[in-house]
Amino acid sequence: MLYGALEVGGTKMVCAVGDESGQILDQVSIPTSTPDETMPKVIEYFKSKVDPSLPDEEKIRALGVACFGPVDVRKNSKTYGNILNTPKIAWRNYPMLKTLQDALGGLPIGFDTDVNGSLLGEATWGCAKGLQDAVYFTIGTGIGMGAISSGKPVHGMLHPEAGHLAMSIVPGDDYKGHCPSHGACFEGMASGPAIEERWGKKAKDLADKPEVWELEAKYIAQALTDIIYTLSPQKIILGGGVMSHTQLFPLIRKYVLEYINNYIDTKELHNINSLISPAALNGNQGIMGALKLAENATIE
Ligand code: ADP
Ligand code: ZN
């Protein structure tokens, strides 16, 4: 059975076809500029995969869309599937799901946040396979978090926004923060642009400055500790450009244990290298998650 998968990102749209085993059979990448310029190309790709002249076994049965946020993921909402108040002005209030539905006729379409998509990929085929409670953080230009609770993606009144958790300022850090809404929230203190503004250099050129990563790990560990207390995840997956500095992992694990201070005693915390880990699907977790969203759309 073939499914379509679309990962809507701030810099590119990844369009793919794959099967129920998670195998990607075809993939193209389209730069994200404006909806007028980008969406016709995305639609053309998926239209060619539902073309009536194709034999049935070569047609996609559904499409899954994993989209940067904030997005409306509430199925009973009038604006379900719209991009909401994004700083990417051209995409603000863009009806992503409706545009695809109108263009692709009656094709079932599943829709979720990019981070819930990546987590779904990891929970189906990757390092969170079989787990009921897990979270996925992306720490890059922004910070986002997806969550699965009791086996279901967490939406609630909208969707989690754990990139904006409040932080306790680390003593000696006088950086005011980068978030336009909150200043010194998690994203304001620990996103890639925050690192670069605080230290005056590209993050990848700071690799040999231990003080940069000590401070970064302390903020990330604060956020993870809050999430451990609130969602009690069995796995915390960390991705995004900042986490490509992999030396952060041991520092983050150390500070999480220090902050929890033995208050919780679980086998997961005793095995913290597994509790807090990188994604396992080699950068394909997002597109594979979108594939799973497509499959889920056929059974809902
Ligand atoms: P986006 O969030 O836009 O999808 P990424 O997840 O790739 O993109 O994150 C980009 C951010 O990652 C940049 O702001 C940069 O500061 C940071 N970054 C890129 N490479 C590295 C690196 N080697 N080490 C630490 N941070 C990095
Ligand atoms: Zn914020």
Among 209, 214, 244, name the best residue to mutate to test ligand 1's pocket (greatest count of ligand atoms within 8 A of Cβ): 244
Residue range 213-254, pLDDT digits in tens = 999 999 999 999 999 999 999 999 999 999 999 999 999 999
Classified as helix, coil or strand, 285 is: helix
Residue 156, Cβ neighbours under 10 Å: how many? Answer: 10
Cis peptide before 70 (omega within 30 of 0): yes
Dist. CA 15 → ligand 2 center (Å):
30
Mean pLDDT value of segment 266-274: 98
Among 242, 246, 247, name the best residue to mutate to test ligand 1's pocket (greatest count of ligand atoms within 8 A of Cβ): 242
CB 124 within 8 A of CB 104: no
Which pLDDT score is estimated for 94? 98
3-state helix, strand, coil in the chain (%, to 5): 40, 20, 35
Label the pairing between strands 60-67 and 134-139: unpaired
What is the strand order of the sheet 134-139 is part of?
A: 152-153, 143-149, 134-139, 235-239, 276-278
**What residue ranges do the domains of the chain occupy?**
2-117+283-297, 128-278
Which pLDDT score is estimated for 87? 87
Residue 246 tokens read as: 């992999």
Residues of the chain with pLDDT > 90: what percent? 98
Answer yes or no: is pLDDT of 76 > 90. yes
Which pLDDT score is estimated for 66? 98
Closest atom of ligand 1 to 196 CA is: 16
Residue 201's Cα: distance from chain center in Å?
26
**Ligand 1 near 121 CB (within 6 A):** no
Q: Was domain 128-278 assigned CATH 3.30.420.40?
A: yes
- Total residues belonging to the chain: 300
What is the strand order of the sheet 109-113 is part of?
A: 24-31, 12-19, 2-8, 60-67, 109-113
Asked if the domains 2-117+283-297 and 128-278 are classified in one and the same CATH topology, the answer is yes
**Ligand 1 near 212 CB (within 6 A):** no
Residue 203 tokens read as: 């993050």
Query: b/e map of 194-205 (b: 16 or more CB within 10 Å)?
Result: bbbebbeeebee
Q: Which of 257-261's residues contact partners 24+ apart within 8 Å by CB, and which partners? A: 258/221, 259/221, 259/222, 259/225, 260/225, 260/228
CB 228 within 8 A of CB 248: no
**Ligand 1 near 12 CB (within 6 A):** no
Answer yes or no: is pLDDT of 139 > 80. yes
Which of 114, 74, 72, 76 shows the shortest CA–CA distance to 96? Answer: 72
What is the average pLDDT value for the chain, to the nearest integer?
97
Which pLDDT score is estimated for 300? 73
In CATH, the architecture of 2-117+283-297 is 2-Layer Sandwich (3.30)
Supply the pTM of this predicted model: 0.96
DSSP letter for 183, please: B
Which pLDDT score is estimated for 237? 98
